[in-house]
Amino acid sequence: MDQDAKTHRTTAALSYVLLLFVVPMTKKDSAFCQFHAKQGIALFVAWVIVSFCAWIPFIGWAAWLSLLIINVMALVKTLNGETWELPILGKYAKEIKL
């Protein structure tokens, strides 16, 4: 784990807690925080979309459960200092300019 990850991992983990992705966005000097803030934005947008579909039996529930699992995994990996790219959403997160 590099020094940036050690120093900013708790701040970066906020990226995966509702709208708190705004906090790591303010750490412009930390590539680790910026990486996770972008992923947090992409995950938040996915949560908003899935919340409209969650009322659909089975498909909506599966999507909601999948996002919950991905969200918890991302949070844990960030706290461990890893830069884990989100499945499917990671490629969209890279496109976000902060």
Domain annotation covers residue 67: yes
Residue 2: predicted pLDDT: 86
Query: Is 96 among the domain residues?
Result: no
- Flag residues of the chain having pLDDT under 70: none
- Is the residue at 82 inside a domain? yes
User: For the chain, how many structural domains are there in total?
Assistant: 1
- Tell me the CB-side half-sphere exposure of residue 28, using CA atoms within 13 A: 2
What SS3 class is residue 97?
Answer: coil
Report yes or no on 77 lying in a domain.
yes
pTM score, two decimals?
Answer: 0.89
Domain span at residue 57 reads: 3-91
* Nearest CA-CA partner of 41 in 22, 27, 60: 22
Enter the DSSP assignment of 18.
G
Q: Is residue 13 part of a domain?
A: yes
Q: What is the DSSP letter of 12?
A: H
Instruction: Decide if 84 is inside a domain.
Output: yes
